[in-house]
């Protein structure tokens, strides 16, 4: 194979790869582009390229072939020519491999994100459990509307408990001595429920502040 045939063959391979890369990039959904946006698909010595799109690699390969043509025209040493040919073939192979493994990269990235979400959810759940309010549904803690609904619910509970305590304390004065101890214990129990309810109210209010803090705007 003479030099002209070599360059012609490389250009044909490049044209085929260019079509494959363009089709590959056109078929990428926006969510897939986003998923692989920060992913390095190649060794840095092969391509200066990251993310889902592969067609930019064609530009680099085209420059390599032009450089090889120039080296052949200048009749540079065989070692120089061989190094250029090897680099082009390595990049061809890497690009073909990337075209075939995009779905693997996507699946790997999806699994990584799912794992991160699971760890975050577990951490959040543990924080709720540690706070003593694990009985409040964790999904409520991720939604401001539900947080406000939960807050109103606890405020209403607290109000009803306070009213109940007042009624029980009013009854205590007229209660028969045999029933007084039981009623006093019931009042203490209601006070404990009221304290728990107020603690939950404070906790939910703190969560609302944390949830809304990033959305606050500050004067510049």
Identify whether 215 is part of a domain: no
Q: Clarify whether residues 20 and 105 are in a common domain.
A: yes
> What total number of domains does the chain contain?
2
Per residue in 14-39, pLDDT tens? 999 999 999 998 988 888 888 777 77
Asked whether residue 64 carries a pLDDT value surpassing 90, the answer given is: yes
Identify whether 90 is part of a domain: yes
Whether 68 contacts 7, CB under 8 Å: yes
Q: Clarify whether residues 108 and 188 are in a common domain.
A: no
Identify whether 45 is part of a domain: yes
Q: Clarify whether residues 31 and 46 are in a common domain.
A: yes
Whether 72 contacts 83, CB under 8 Å: no
Domain, as residue range, for 36: 1-127
What's the Cα-to-Cα distance from 28 to each of 24, 52, 61, 126, 198, rounded to whole Å?
7, 8, 22, 38, 52
Q: Clarify whether residues 94 and 140 are in a common domain.
A: no
Helices (H), the chain: 3-26, 30-35, 56-73, 78-131, 144-172, 177-212
Q: What is the pLDDT of residue 10?
A: 92
Q: Clarify whether residues 95 and 176 are in a common domain.
A: no
The two tokens of residue 107 are 């699946």
Q: What is the pLDDT of residue 142?
A: 60
Task: Report CA torsion sign: 200, 206, 211, 212.
Answer: positive
Per residue in 86-143, pLDDT tens? 999 999 999 998 888 887 777 777 788 778 877 877 776 666 565 555 555 555 556 6
Asked whether residue 155 carries a pLDDT value surpassing 70, the answer given is: yes
Q: Clarify whether residues 194 and 88 are in a common domain.
A: no
Q: Clarify whether residues 27 and 135 are in a common domain.
A: no
The conformation of residue 167, written as its DSSP 8-state character, comes to H
Q: Clarify whether residues 33 and 79 are in a common domain.
A: yes
Q: Clarify whether residues 70 and 95 are in a common domain.
A: yes
**Rounded mean pLDDT, 61-80:** 90
Identify whether 41 is part of a domain: yes
pTM (global) more than 0.95 = no
Lowest-pLDDT choice from 61-70, 100-109, 146-155 = 100-109
Domain boundary among 105, 127, 149: 127
Q: What is the pLDDT of residue 76?
A: 86
Q: Clarify whether residues 79 and 179 are in a common domain.
A: no
Q: What is the pLDDT of residue 88?
A: 92
Identify whether 60 is part of a domain: yes
Per residue in 98-112, pLDDT tens? 888 887 777 777 788
Identify whether 118 is part of a domain: yes
Q: What is the pLDDT of residue 141?
A: 56
CA-CA distance, 47 to 55, in Å (whole number)? 11
What's the Cα-to-Cα distance from 102 to each of 21, 27, 58, rounded to whole Å?
11, 11, 17
The conformation of residue 60, written as its DSSP 8-state character, comes to H
Identify whether 220 is part of a domain: no
Q: What is the pLDDT of residue 218?
A: 41
Identify whether 53 is part of a domain: yes
């Amino acid at each position: 194979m003479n030099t002209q045939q070599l360059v012609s063959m490389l250009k044909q391979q490049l044209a085929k790869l260019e079509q494959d890369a363009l089709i590959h990039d056109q078929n990428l959904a926006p969510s897939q582009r986003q998923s692989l946006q920060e992913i390095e698909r190649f060794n840095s010595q092969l391509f200066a390229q990251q993310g889902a799109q592969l067609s930019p690699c064609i530009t680099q390969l085209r420059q390599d072939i032009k450089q090889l043509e120039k080296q052949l025209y200048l009749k540079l040493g065989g070692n120089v020519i061989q190094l250029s040919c090897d680099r082009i073939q390595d990049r061809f192979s890497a690009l073909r491999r990337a075209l075939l493994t995009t779905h693997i990269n996507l699946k790997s990235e999806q699994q990584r994100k799912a794992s991160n979400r699971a760890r975050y959810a577990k951490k959040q759940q543990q924080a709720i459990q540690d706070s003593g309010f694990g009985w409040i549904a964790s999904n409520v803690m991720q939604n401001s509307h539900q947080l406000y609904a939960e807050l109103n619910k606890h405020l209403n509970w607290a109000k009803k408990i306070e009213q109940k305590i007042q009624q029980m304390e009013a009854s205590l004065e007229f209660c028969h001595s045999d029933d007084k101890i039981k009623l006093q214990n019931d009042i203490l129990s209601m006070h404990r429920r009221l304290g728990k309810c107020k603690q939950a109210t404070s906790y939910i209010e703190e969560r609302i502040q944390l949830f809304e803090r990033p959305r606050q705007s500050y004067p510049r």
